[in-house]
């Protein structure tokens, strides 16, 4: 009965693979996990999306919840408008997450694009979802040039909304990091004020489920601690 938001500094930084790794580690710790992707864009109704990739990597023991899908690879509110389909609203997302959270030990919410991408009606963003749920948000960031600025801006946006940020995960760490990547790894905690909680090797999303599950614990240092109480189990960051 805990919620953790997984956001990114931009699109294509590795949120889906990071979410799958978090799910794998939580399942290995004996937790019941549900992954919610409020909105998926750029995928047709009949095609597999990010949640199906998480299922492929994390296995059938993870429940999946998707609330809306739009075919064009655009920001969700723009994609909804252009498709003629109904946009999501904030209360709908918060209600779905709370229902899932009542049944599972850990609910992971994977965002779309960067933190301040508008998700639906009224221009609400993932910050609004996290704030409404009182949930912390992990940031998935790129490794190379630009990531210090992008990550610092994302942390600042979370803080301005009083959303806790436990740390940053580098979503695609190169096999042969250059000077920029190595310096960024050292500088991110000082620039952002939050720790780097893991590095996921580039190409990890291509692994099969067995290899992914075996390696995921090495990549992340996210302190998912369980706390048992009369109502069940909570996950404490």
**Angle of helix 50-58 relative to helix 15-28, nearest 10 degrees?**
40
Active site residue 15: no
Q: What's the rounded Cα separation, in Å, for the pair 114 and 99?
A: 25
* β-strand pairing of 232-236 with 225-229: antiparallel
Catalytic: which of 22, 27, 37, 111?
37
Longest CA span, the chain = 51
DSSP 185-204: HHHHHHHHSS-EEEEEETTG
Helical (H) or strand (E) element with 17: helix 15-28
Distances, alpha carbon 142 to alpha carbons 15, 188, 207, in Å: 10, 11, 20
**Which residue, 82, 91, 229, 110, is CA-closest to 169?**
110
Question: What's CA 128's distance to the chain center, in Å?
Answer: 15
Give 20's Cβ-side CA count (13 Å radius). 30
Residues β-bridged to residue 118? none
Catalogue the active-site residues.
37
């Amino acid at each position: 009965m805990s919620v953790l938001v997984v956001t990114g500094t931009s699109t294509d930084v590795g949120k889906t693979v990071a979410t799958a790794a978090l799910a794998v580690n939580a399942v290995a710790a004996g937790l019941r996990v549900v992954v919610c992707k409020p909105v998926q864009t750029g995928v047709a109704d009949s095609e597999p999306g990010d949640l199906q990739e998480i299922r492929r990597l994390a296995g059938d023991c993870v429940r999946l919840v998707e609330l809306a899908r739009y075919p064009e690879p655009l920001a969700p509110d723009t994609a909804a408008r252009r498709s003629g389909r109904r946009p999501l609203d904030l209360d709908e997302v918060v209600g779905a997450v709370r229902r899932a959270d009542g049944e599972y030990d850990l609910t992971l919410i994977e965002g779309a694009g960067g933190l301040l991408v508008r998700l639906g009606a009224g221009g609400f963003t993932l910050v609004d979802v996290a704030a409404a749920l009182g949930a912390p948000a992990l940031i998935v960031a790129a490794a190379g040039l630009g990531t210090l600025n992008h990550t610092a801006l994302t942390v600042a946006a979370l803080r301005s909304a009083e959303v806790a940020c436990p740390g940053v995960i580098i979503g695609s760490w190169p096999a042969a990091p250059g000077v920029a990547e190595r310096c960024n790894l050292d500088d991110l905690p000082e620039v952002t004020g939050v720790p780097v909680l893991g590095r996921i090797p580039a190409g990890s999303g291509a692994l099969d489920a067995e290899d992914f599950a075996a390696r995921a614990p090495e990549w992340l240092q996210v302190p998912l601690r369980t706390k048992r109480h009369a109502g069940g189990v909570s996950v404490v960051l």
